[in-house]
Structure 1
Amino acid sequence: MLTIRTATRDDLPAVAAIYAHYVTETVVTFDENPPALDAWHDRHADLSTRGLPFLIAEADGEVAGYAYATPWRPKPAYRHTVEDSIYLSPAWSGRGFGSALLQAVLDACTDAGLHQVIAVIVDPGSDASAALHRKHGFIEVGRLQSVGHKHNRWLDTVLMQRTLRDRR
């Protein structure tokens, strides 16, 4: 049974382990070294202070994945725009958990009064991520070519965007 809930400090070692897999084994993140646990504690505290979601997908008593929203850019005019991140433990992928996490993050962002959510997806990385975002109403709005270099190859990023509320 899947439960989506707010992350606690006790979840952060599992979050760090999930992310470390993607850092070392894939190109879906441009980090080249897994962040230390202290960095996850700092991120958790920062997002909590900002009122932004940091959510856990729990299945069979274990952390199956996580998702959060971070500020898109530091300048004040961007304060209503966030970037989402979603990672699943490889053992739990393909079961709809990513979709449940993304919907929960979108709901939390809407509740927080945010306006836009941006997804930055490595291409070629995971086609599943772009498909997941399209399923939840994101549209592709741009491509940055050869902006990352990891595992001896140049990588593009695709920018996808979803409006939560039309405030025009």
Structure 2
Amino acid sequence: MSVIRPVTEADLPAVADIYAHYVLNTVATFEENPPGQDFWRAKAATGLPFLVAEADGAVGGFAYAGQYRPKPAYRHSLEDTVYLAPGFTGRGLGRALLEALVAACRESGARQIIAVIADGGDPASAKLHRALGFQEAGRLRAVGFKHGRWLDTVLMQLDLS
């Protein structure tokens, strides 16, 4: 059984470790150096939704919303991020996290949620977003270079209005 709840300071080392795995070993993020706990502390302090999935006594994943772009006119559009700890995939945690994040974004008054998904060949993230009503809004070709590969990003969008 898992519990979806707001992130706490005590969760930040696990969040940092989960993300570091994806930074160092995958193309799921275009980050090349894992950010430290100060980065995560700042994310948690934005006032935007930041959730963790607690499963088997551990942080099994996290999801948060951030401003889609920094310019003021984008203030009603958020970008979602979801990552699961290795060993916690295939349990429905990603769906539970994204469902809770969408609900929290709706409650915050956001109108749009944008997913920027690195297309490294694994369809899981796009499939998850599609299952929750996100629609593909476009593709940016060869915009990232990581682990010796040029990568596309797929933009998906959920209208909350």
TM-score by length of 2: 0.98
Query: What letter matches 2:102 in structure 1?
Result: L
1:35 aligns with 2:66: no
Give structure 1 regions of 4+ aligned residues with deviation exceeding 4 angstroms.
none
Which of 46, 53, 58 in structure 2 is aligned with 1:57?
53
Query: What letter matches 2:58 in structure 1?
Result: E
Residues 27, 125 of structure 1: 8 Å contact kept: no
Q: Gapped runs of 5+ residues in structure 2?
A: none
Q: Which position in structure 2 is the counterpart of 1:92?
A: 88
Whole-angstrom distance in 1 between the partners of 2:54 and 2:4: 6
Judge which range, 95-104 or 33-42, deviates more: 33-42
SS of residue matched to 2:31: coil
Whole-angstrom distance in 2 between the partners of 1:54 and 1:107: 12
Q: Gapped runs of 5+ residues in structure 1?
A: none
1:44 aligns with 2:74: no
Alpha-carbon deviation of 1:126? 2.7
The number of residue pairs the alignment matches comes to 161
Aligned-residue identity in percent? 61
Alpha-carbon deviation of 1:141? 0.7
Q: Which position in structure 2 is the counterpart of 1:71?
A: 67
TM-score by length of 1: 0.94
SS of residue matched to 2:41: helix
1:151 aligns with 2:147: yes
Query: What letter matches 1:12 in structure 2?
Result: L
Whole-angstrom distance in 1 between the partners of 2:52 and 2:13: 12
Identify, as 1 or 2, the structure richer in helix: 1
Whole-angstrom distance in 2 between the partners of 1:108 and 1:66: 14
- Residues 116-168 of structure 1, C-alpha deviation per residue, up to 9 Å, x if partnerless? 00000011243100000000000001000000000011000000000011xxx
